[in-house]
A and B are shown apart, each in its own frame.
Chain A
Amino acid sequence: DVKVTQSSRYLVKRTGEKVFLECVQDMDHENMFWYRQDPGLGLRLIYFSYDVKMKEKGDIPEGYSVSREKKERFSLILESASTNQTSMYLCASSPPTRNAEAFFGQGTRLTVV
C-alpha cells in the first residue's frame, strides 16, 4: 500500500513562529504536492515538486516555502505564521506517469493563535 505520512495531525502555533510541516512518502514518487483546504475553497495548491530540489509555485505560495532535499520527503515551511494560515494542510504524491492518481496524507490541521 502506498503510504503518505504527515508528521502531525494537529498543531497549534503562535503568530510569528516558524512552522515546519513534514511529509514522507514510501513509493519512490517523483511528484509531491502541498495543498491547503478551506471550507468552500476546495484544495488550493501551494507548491509542487517534480524532483529532488525542483519546485514550482502553485496558486497561493505567498507566506510559504518548501524544501525537497530527498525524494521521499517534502517539507512546507511557514516563515512567520499568521492567523490567516490557520487551515488544513494536505500533502500528496504521485508517480511521473502523465496519467496517474495522487495519494494523500491524513492532513495536518494547523491553528495559528
Chain B
Amino acid sequence: EDKVVQSPLSLVVHEGDTVTLNCSYEVTNFRSLLWYKQEKKAPTFLFMLTSSGIEKKSGRLSSILDKKELFSILNITATQTGDSAIYLCAGSGNTGKLIFGQGTTLQVKP
C-alpha cells in the first residue's frame, strides 16, 4: 500500500530560526514528490521534485529529493510569522493519484 509519512507532526520556532521538515514515501511506480502549504484555506503548491539531488528553491524555501532513500526535505530559512501553516507532502505514481502525508503544523512565534 502506498504511504507518505511526515515528521515532525508539529513544530514551534521563533522568527529567524531555520526549520527542516521531513517526508518519507513508499509509492508504487513513483513519479514525483510535491510540497504544499496550507493556511486557513486550500493548499497552495510549493514544489514538485522528480529527480534526486536537484534542489528546488523559492526565496527562503528550498527542497530536495533522495530517490534512493525515498525521502524529501523542505527547508525554511529565516522563518517569519507568515510561514506559520500546515506543510503537506504528497507522492504521485504513474496513475496521477496523489497520496498525502499527515502534514507538519509549523508555528512561528515573533
Contact = CB atoms under 8 A, between A and B. Distances in A.
Interface of A: 4, 30-31, 33, 35, 40-45, 48, 50, 56, 58-59, 90, 92, 94, 96, 98-107
Given A99-B32, A106-B41, 19 more contacts: A4-B42, A31-B97, A40-B102, A42-B102, A43-B88, A43-B90, A43-B103, A44-B100, A59-B99, A90-B42, A98-B31, A98-B92, A98-B96, A99-B31, A99-B50, A102-B34, A104-B44, A106-B42, A107-B41
Contacts of A102: 34, 45, 90, 98
Contacts of B48: 99-101
B58 interface: no
Contacts of A101: 34, 45, 48
B99 A50 contact: no
Interface of B: 6, 9, 31-32, 34, 41-45, 48, 50, 88, 90, 92, 94-103
A30 B45 CA distance: 19
A35 B100 contact: yes
Contacts of B98: 33, 45, 92, 94, 102
B33 to A, nearest CB: 10
A20 B88 CA distance: 27
A100 B33 CA distance: 10
Contact of B100 (A40, A43, A48, A94): A43
A58 B31 CA distance: 18
A39 B109 CA distance: 21
A94 B42 contact: no
Given A42-B102, A42-B103, A99-B48, A107 B97 contact: no
A98 B32 contact: yes
19 contacts: A4-B42, A31-B96, A33-B98, A40-B9, A41-B102, A43-B43, A48-B95, A50-B96, A90-B42, A94-B96, A98-B94, A99-B31, A99-B92, A101-B45, A102-B34, A103-B45, A104-B43, A106-B42, A107-B41
Contacts of A56: 95, 97
